[in-house]
Amino acid sequence: MAVDEEERIPRGCVLLAMSMCTMLYAVTLTIVNVVLPQLQGALAATPEEVSWVVTLNVIATAVVTPATGWMVARWGYRNVIIWSIVGFSISSLLCAMANSLIPLLVYRIGQGAFGAPLVPLSQAIIVAVYPPERRAFAQGVFGMSVVLGPAIAPVIGGILAEEYNWRFVFILILPMCAATLAFVWLWVHDPGERSKSNLDWGGFLLFSVVITCAQLMMDRGERQDWWDSYEIWSYAALIVAALWVFLVHSATTNNPFINPQLFRDRNFTIGLVLVFIYGMLNITPTVMIPTMLQNLMGYPDSMIGILLAARGAGMVLGFFIVAQIGKVDPRVGMIFGVAAIGLSGWNMALFNLEVDPWAIALAGILQGVGSAVMWVPLSIVAFATLPVKFYPDASSIFHLLRNFGSSIFISVSVLTVSRTGKISYSELAENVSAFTDIARYPQLMGLWSFESREGLATLGSEVTRQALMVGYANSFALYALAAFSAIPLMLMVKIR
């Protein structure tokens, strides 16, 4: 269908509005990661506790995302997006005003819940507004604009946090919310009539229990000594019971929360596994790198923001690469992307306490390139053989698993650092003794000493630092392994 000049302007405006909507949620993830170390000190939290600032936000998004289709059917695209932005803005303001960890976590859950509909709805509206021959262009512009914000935001957020405090990373989001709300109010309208479909509340609640208990079990397992804790056993029992009832309920109800027919399509089923792995790989480094750089190496927030922005620059480069290889077999793009991510993880596994900032930036660029190159063909092949009538439900579960993969793997990575760091500390401490050869030469020991409390404290701190670095290296090795494990699955994708 030909597009006249009068039609192009509204479409461009809608594309800008939808890009801003998605940018809001993406910026929230990347900009908060810059100040995780500062939050840890300001709120008197452990590394495990402060990681909940990210994981609870992501899991709230994962829980609410599948309900997006129902919300649109009841209230329409325009109303859902407007109220999502308003709720997101209020949650961001409350985050900036929080004085302790628990309220901050509650408000971050609000950010995730209100931000959940923004990404799937933005994609759905762009597909609805643009004709088939223009959708590739629209998706390319959409993807490019979405990564620019997360690329720039960590730099600005890091500078603000260093000059003032962590609250300003949330205050920075508020002008973006106001601009986005104005754009949506002016240019976004409902493309069709609303239906009165009912949400499967039973399935929704059961599924929420499964996801929430799985996340809590992963987050609290190490602290509660795993299977020696009744709490962990309770989570496991709830997961098994709720999952069983959910599966039976979905198979017997007329309008299930997640349509079982979706899983009859091989490409989509494989795509769900791949997008889960993509979620694992996409956000985890932006959570792990800042705490490592500040806690172990003393990097300032502004420098951490610049290094995180390198990943955004890599994503911009990756979208240029995608545009050049658009006509190649999608499996080639996916394998290239995941291989680049895996290579960056392997490089990070070789980091030590003297790592050069350029090496960190290079690993971030490689991650960004791989993430961008993998995402576009993955989105294409997952829906390539799926009937169009299933697209709304399929898009929701697709984004849900991406977010759930992020939250679970962040917990696994934090657990790896904690558990292997403790093991490494025990092994290193065995070799630290006043009877070693170097201890006979005080001039070589520097601030370390067995003769004073200060010297012993400094020595103990250094052993802890070295042990935690081993833990981070192990978590990055696991990250690389997860990336490379996706390659055999990609070869199973069917191309029309």
> Could you tell me if 73 and 180 are in contact, meaning their C-beta atoms sit under 8 angstroms apart?
no
Mean per-residue pLDDT for 389-396? 72
Kindly state whether residue 85 falls inside one of the protein's structural domains.
yes
- Say if residue 278 is in the same domain as residue 386: yes
Instruction: Give domain status of residue 1, yes or no.
Output: no
| Spatial contact of 76 and 425, defined as CB atoms under 8 Å apart | no
What angle do helix axes 453-484 and 391-430 make, rounded to 10 degrees? 140
pLDDT score for 145: 65
Query: What's the domain count of the chain?
Result: 3
Residue 196 has pLDDT above 60, yes or no: no
pLDDT of residue 6: 39
- Which residues lie closer than 8 Å to 273 by C-beta, 6 or more apart? 489
Q: Are 467 and 428 in contact (CB under 8 A)?
A: yes
| Mean per-residue pLDDT, 235-240 | 93
Q: How far is CA 232 from CA 4, 208, 219, 227, 415, in A?
A: 61, 17, 10, 6, 15
Which amino acid is it at 452? S
State whether 72 and 96 are in the same domain: yes
Clarify whether residues 75 and 189 are in a common domain. yes
Q: How many CB atoms lie within 10 A of CB 193?
A: 7
411 and 269 in a single domain? The answer is yes
Clarify whether residues 230 and 308 are in a common domain.
Answer: no
* Contact between 91 and 118 (Cβ < 8 Å): no
Q: In terms of domains, do 262 and 238 share one?
A: no
> Residue 73: is its pLDDT beyond 90?
no
Length of the chain: 496
Dump pLDDT digits (tens) for 123-153.
Answer: 778 767 777 667 667 766 776 666 666 667 7
Tens of pLDDT along 307-354? Answer: 888 887 888 888 788 777 767 788 888 899 999 999 999 999 999 888
> Which two tokens mark 283?
């956000």
Q: Are residues 308 and 445 in the same domain?
A: yes
DSSP characters for 109-124? HHHHHHHTTHHHHHHH
Q: Are residues 163 and 89 in the same domain?
A: yes
pLDDT in tens, 419-462: 898 888 888 777 765 556 555 555 555 555 556 666 666 777 77
399 with 131: CB under 8 angstroms? Answer: no
Residues 129 and 42 in one domain: yes
Q: How far is CA 446 from CA 433, 434, 453, 455, in A?
A: 15, 14, 14, 9
Boundary (domain end) residue, out of 209, 225, 256: 256
Q: 366 lies in a domain?
A: yes
What pTM was computed for the model? 0.79
End-to-end CA distance of the chain: 24
- Mean of the per-residue pLDDT values for the chain? 81
Q: Provide the residue range defining the domain that includes 55.
A: 7-197
72 and 170 inside one domain = yes
Residue 221 inside a domain? The answer is: yes
Q: What is the CATH number of the domain that holds 493?
A: 1.20.1250.20
Helix, strand, coil share (%) of the chain residues, nearest 5: 80, 0, 20
Out of 178, 197, 216, a domain closes at 197
pLDDT for the residue 3: 39
What average pLDDT does this structure show over 34-41? 80
Residue 107 binned pLDDT confidence (cut-offs 50, 70, 90): very high
State residue 1's pLDDT score. Answer: 35
My answer on whether 276 and 234 are in the same domain is no
Q: Of 197, 213, 244, which one is at a domain's C-terminal end? A: 197
In Å, how far from its chain's centre is CA 265? 26
- Residue 341 and residue 272 share a domain: yes
